[in-house]
Structures are given as C-alpha cells and as structure tokens.
Amino acid sequence: MPILAVNVDHIATLRQARLGQEPEPVTAAHMAELAGASAIIVHLREDRRHIQDRDVALLRQLIKTRLHLEMAATKEMHRLALGIKPDMVCLVPEKRQELTTEGGLNCIGREKELADYLAPLHEEGIGSSLFIDPDAAQIKAASDAGAHYIEIHTGAYADAPTPADRQRELDKVLEGIRIGRELGLKVNLGHGLNYENVWAFSKVSGVSEFSIGHSIVSRAVLTGMTEAVSRMADIVRTFPD
C-alpha cells in the first residue's frame, strides 16, 4: 500500500510572510501525523524562503514518523543532511527565481557525481531519492547513480492544459513507474497532486509514496476558515459598544 508523505513547506511560507512565529510547521507536522501522514517532507531551499534550519532540526527531534528532506545537491546541503540525518533525502534541482521546483533533476552523465554525493549519506543510514521527469534515460541514470528511490515529477501531468495532454503526461508517468520498478527502484510520485488529479493513480500499483503539499495546505486554510473567523467574531462580540 502506498503511503502519504505530507510536505509542510507552505505552512512556513505563511509564517515567513510576516517573519513571525505562526503558523508553526512543527505543529502542522504533528497534526498531519495524527491525521494519517506516514512521513513529513520539507524542502530546505538555499534561499530559505520558507523552511528554516531550525524547522528541520526541530522536526528531526519531534516527529514520530519519517522525515524526508528535499534539497539541492550542494556541499552546504550535504553537510547539513549528514548532521540532521533525515530518514531520506530527495535531491531536487533548484533555481533561485522559480516559484516552485520546475523540472526534474538531470541525472544523465552525472551518475558518478551523484553516486559519490549519495554514498556518505547511505553510509549514515540515510535513504535517497532523485526527483526526475518520467523519462526512461533519466530513470536509468538514477538507477546507475545508486539511488534507492526515484520520485517521478507529476507536475506536467497536473498542469496539462487539455485532457489529451493530461492523458499523454499520465501515460509517461505510468511508463516511468513501470521502468523504475523493472530496474529495482522504489517509485514515489509528487508535485501538483490534488484531491482530483490523484485519483488517476487509484488503480496503479508500484507506487511507494505520494508526496503532497500545496493542495493539502490550501485545503487546510479554507476548511479552517469557519472556525477561525467565528472564534475571532465571538471574541470581538464580547467587547463593549
């Protein structure tokens, strides 16, 4: 059975909008665990736009499931990961200007470099995943690099403008799952998955983990709106005329 891994980056995005203390991603992570998440994911970006170093350190100490750290394959992140020891790292490409991770990591021709990057992490018992597009050559290269998992980028499927495009992108993801499994890799899916488009995978076997963040945080904000507003309205109503 696949597991749900919840990405809490955008709880931190909301907090960083005021550079304050709320909402607290660690609390969101605990609530996600209580609600059935089997892993918590954070992306510690080079520019620290949402998740901060202290979030990762606190999550490592406090969460009860698994901590997956998304990161660029830089020296800084390598050192941090070896110190924090997440259960798994997921290597992603990172550009400063992008709104979110735009494409998969290029693994072709970088198999040795990636293998050398991952080996010390593996020695510390940290699992590894490479976030890649559903492309046969990339999947083969990820396998040659010795990654335990690939995470297939589902963004092109999620953002496809027409039903025909969506079907074509879905077919690529399904083929990617097949190739990955055939090569002995574990296969995760993530990016842009929401309460509608995730159903396409309801009868697909071979997926270990669904990595979902933005749609869950978006829904949480709106489903919590009624309680949040009525609580404040109740408070204000008790004030004198």
Residues marked active site are found at: 43, 70, 191
Q: Decide whether 143 or 154 has the Cβ nearer to ligand PXP.
A: 154
Q: Are the CB atoms for 91 and 121 separated by under 8 Å?
A: no
Binding mask 126-155 for ligand PXP (x = CB under 6 A): -----x-------------------x----
Q: Decide whether 78 or 155 has the Cβ nearer to ligand PXP.
A: 155
Q: Which of residues 21-80 bind ligand PXP (CB under 6 A)?
A: 43, 70
Catalogue the E-assigned strands of the chain. Answer: 3-7, 39-43, 67-71, 88-91, 127-132, 149-153, 186-190, 207-212
Give the residue, chosen from 27, 61, 100, 230, that forms a contact with ligand PXP under the rule CB under 6 A: 100
Helices 136-144 and 163-182 meet at what angle, rounded to 10? Answer: 30
Q: Decide whether 101 or 143 has the Cβ nearer to ligand PXP.
A: 101
Q: Decide whether 33 or 151 has the Cβ nearer to ligand PXP.
A: 151
Q: Are the CB atoms for 209 and 39 separated by under 8 Å?
A: yes
Residue 169 binds ligand PXP (CB under 6 A) = no
Tokens of 88: 């798994």
3-state helix, strand, coil in the chain (%, to 5): 45, 15, 35
Q: Rounded to a whole number, what is the largest CA-CA distance in the chain?
A: 72
Stretch that binds ligand PXP, among 109-117, 175-183, 191-199, 227-235 (CB under 6 A): 191-199
How many whole angstroms separate alpha carbon 34 and alpha carbon 195?
Answer: 20
Binding mask 206-225 for ligand PXP (x = CB under 6 A): -----xxxxx----------
Residue 7 binds ligand PXP (CB under 6 A) = yes
Give the residue, chosen from 101, 128, 138, 208, that forms a contact with ligand PXP under the rule CB under 6 A: 101
Find the shortest distance in angstroms from Cβ 29 to ligand PXP.
Answer: 15
Cα distances (angstroms) measured from residue 220 to each of 9, 90, 154, 199, 234: 13, 25, 22, 19, 21
Residues that bind ligand PXP (CB under 6 A): 7, 9, 43, 70, 90, 92, 100-101, 131, 151, 190-193, 211-215
